[in-house]
Amino acid sequence: MDIQTIVTTAALVIFGTAGVALFGIVFGLFYKGVDRKLSAHMQGRIGPPIRQPFRDVVKLFTKENIVPENAIPWVFHLAPLAGLVATISILLYLPLGGFEPLLATKGDLILILYLLIIPSLAMVIGGFAAGSPYATIGAQREMATMIAYEFPLAIIIISIAWRLSYYGAATPFALSTIASTPVWNIVGPLGFIGLLLLLLVLIIVTPAELSKIPFDSPEAETEIAGGLLVEYSGRNLAMFYLTDGVKTLVLASLIVALFFPYNLSPLLGLDSYPAFAVDIIFYLVKVLLIVLFSVTLIRVAVARLKIDQIVYAYWVPLTLIALVGLICIMWDSYTMQEFGLQPVLSMLGLA
């Protein structure tokens, strides 16, 4: 590899990372504003304007950064930065708006599964480093919640990768493989039901990843005064706020990549710039619908759960549903091979 190629690749990665980070921050805050507006209307309130999250971030960055007396300063400052950097890093491995990921490996899903832990872990470390009893309780609750929802999330990823591997994919954990071979196209009726169950579980895992109602017991303003974030202010709180916005986009994009990796331009016979524009708009609409169903509707319809209820919900019913989905997909694979059944979308003429 010559010097010019190395420089070109490095420039592409640097400017691409900056562009993806800006995209994630802008649209992450935008979807937070949409979520707040829609939930307010569902509750009979006017709600803040959609641009309110942008105002909140700007205001927080102008505020004083207060460090508690009993805090560990360097850990207290490092935690929000680590969470934001890790969340933005996930976007580099996700296909956004029909574009290929800026970075891609043979094990994208495994890497993303690990990277998703870092923002929550950063909040836990920041909570313990704050030296506040409220933050300590919040950190303990966040740790219990993390342990609870990681198991069904892992089952979902393993189920999809196993089906692709059984189909003959060389790199079943790569998102590029899922984009080129959507799982709906390679399953029969029983596998279709299994995928629906896995999609349902992932939609319910999403609000816990984001610490949204009914799974927001680590923060729980009415119980522990904000919990993890009770001692944070100024730039540090702004970075946690940005992390939440970007993570909303990350999780919605992950659902799109796993279950809805379709583009509209091939159906319309478009190419070049019109195709890019249509696919980006279609992607943003899919993300909006996922945020609506996985965040807004759930937090409006369900009251906050206690921490023991959260752990039970993920360890027992949701884990069992995910396992049933995995069994359906495995059984479907053997049934299709034995009896030569056609995939559901092929039967319907959609694939």
Residue 344's pLDDT is what? 56
Cβ-based neighbour number of residue 9 at 10 Å: 11
Q: What percent of the chain has pLDDT over 70?
A: 92
Q: How far apart are CA 311 and CA 292, in angstroms?
A: 24
Residue holding tokens 């939609």?
203
Nearest residue to 115 via CA among 94, 90, 139, 96: 90
C-alpha 125/C-alpha 110 separation (Å) is: 23
The answer to whether residue 259 scores a pLDDT higher than 70 is: yes
250 confidence band (pLDDT: 50, 70, 90)? very high
Average pLDDT, the chain: 85
On the question of pLDDT at 157 being above 70, the answer is yes
The answer, yes or no, to whether residue 289 has pLDDT greater than 90, is yes
Residue 190 CA to residue 329 CA, distance in Å, equals: 7
Average pLDDT over residues 302-329: 89
Euclidean distance between the first and the last CA atom of the chain, given in angstroms as a whole number: 40
The mean per-residue pLDDT over the stretch 162-168 comes to 85
CB within 8 Å of 79: residues ≥ 6 apart: 122, 123, 125, 126, 129, 236
Q: Is 260 exposed, middle or buried (0-12, 13-18, 19+ CB in 10 A)?
A: middle
Q: Where are the domains of the chain?
A: 3-347
Residue 126 and residue 79 in contact, taking contact as beta carbons nearer than 8 Å: yes
Residue 335 has pLDDT above 90, yes or no: no
The CB-side HSE value for 98 (13 A sphere, CA atoms) comes to: 21
**Rounded-to-integer distance, Cα 38 and Cα 41, Å:** 5
Nearest to 143 by CA among 123, 159, 160: 123
pLDDT in tens, 192-229: 999 999 999 999 999 888 888 788 777 766 666 666 77
Determine the pLDDT at residue 282. 92
**Cβ neighbours of residue 114 under 8 Å, at least 6 residues apart?**
none
Tell me the average pLDDT across 160-183. Answer: 86
Q: Would you place residue 6 in the very low, low, confident or very high pLDDT band (cuts 50, 70, 90)? A: confident
At 299 the pLDDT is 86
Classify residue 66 by its DSSP letter: -
pLDDT in tens, 34-85: 999 998 988 888 888 999 999 999 999 898 888 888 888 888 889 899 999 9
- Using CA atoms, how far apart are residues 201 and 319, in angstroms rounded to an integer? 8
Tell me the mean pLDDT in the region 269-287. Answer: 86
Residue that has been written with the tokens 């990350």 in this structure:
250
Give the contacts of 50 (CB within 8 A, at least 6 positions apart): 30, 33, 34, 36, 37
Quickly count: other Cβ atoms within 10 Å of residue 128's Cβ. Answer: 21
Neighbouring-strand partners of residue 99? 96
Phi, psi of 172 (to 5 degrees): -65, -20
The CB density around residue 79, as the number of other CB atoms within 10 Å, is: 27
Q: Helix crossing, 234-259 with 272-291: angle to 10°? A: 110
Residue with tokens 């540090």, as numbered in its chain = 236
Among 143-157, 222-236, 330-344, whose mean pLDDT is lowest? 330-344
Q: Summarize pLDDT for 220-229 with one digit per residue, the tens.
A: 666 666 667 7
Whether pLDDT at 10 is above 80: no
Average confidence (pLDDT) over 288-296: 92
Q: Which residue has the tokens 């890019």?
A: 276
Find the length of the chain: 351
Of 62-76, 288-302, 308-322, 337-351, least confident by mean pLDDT is 337-351
Model's pTM, two decimal places? 0.89
